[in-house]
Amino acid sequence: MTKACITAASIFAASAAFAETINFDSDSPGALPAGWEQGVTGKGSPKWAVRADPGAPSKPNVLEQSGSGTFPWCVLRKTSIENGFVEVRFKALSGSEDQAGGVVWRWKDGNNYYVARANALENNVSLYHTTNGRRNTIKYVDAPVAKNAWHTLRVEFSGKRIKVALDGKTYIEQEDAHMTGAGAVGLWDGVRRLQLRFSVA
């Protein structure tokens, strides 16, 4: 199991017909926020819930993953985005296998989606496609991901083009066509706590 925080995520889709910003500041601690769905690719029992975190850059709440699982995820099901970006702020806390923060997009179901992550245990940024329940590496590169420090992970995607940036620096620019069409966006666990700001326009 891993532990970390994600403090804020912004998601933008050029083709979306609405715009909004979502955070967890008005959600009741101890419960999954309304409209979000949790699950795991593989085995395990994820547990995503809103928690108070006075150290979060955007106070007062975060979304915390305190369960366990192979690859836990939490998505906002009402989103249907093909092209746009997703951005998240996270802080890695602990973990023996991963200390990472990640985002998912073009999420079709718990076994089919893209994921990008930044890992403080390995000091790298990685891009994957998960197809039929199997995570497949597209590319990863070395990058400084300090533990117990806030980072910003951003993924831009349009057609086959994917760009992954950490703390304002682009580390991956890649073309891939494993996941096409629109899908939901959300968060991927190598993290324990997340506070999300979500905007679509």
Predicted local distance difference test score (pLDDT) of residue 129: 98
Predicted local distance difference test score (pLDDT) of residue 4: 45
Lowest mean pLDDT of 2-6, 23-27, 150-154, 192-196, name the range. 192-196
Beta bridge partners of 190: 100
How far apart CA 94 and CA 191 sit, in angstroms, is 9
What confidence tens digit (pLDDT) does each residue in 65-99 have? Answer: 777 788 889 998 888 889 888 888 787 765 545 56
Provide the Cα torsion 121, 150, 107, 114; round to 10°. Answer: -50
How far apart CA 51 and CA 195 sit, in angstroms, is 9
What confidence tens digit (pLDDT) does each residue in 27-41 have? Answer: 888 998 888 999 999
How far apart CA 67 and CA 134 sit, in angstroms, is 21
Predicted local distance difference test score (pLDDT) of residue 98: 55
Predicted local distance difference test score (pLDDT) of residue 139: 98
Would you list the domain boundaries of the chain?
A: 2-199
Predicted local distance difference test score (pLDDT) of residue 127: 98
Tell me if 107 sits within 8 A of 39, measured CB to CB. no
Predicted TM-score (pTM) of the model is: 0.85
**Which CATH topology does 2-199 take?**
Jelly Rolls (2.60.120)
Would you call the peptide bond into 60 cis, given omega within 30 degrees of 0 as the criterion?
yes
Percent of the chain whose predicted confidence (pLDDT) is above 90: 37
Predicted local distance difference test score (pLDDT) of residue 40: 93
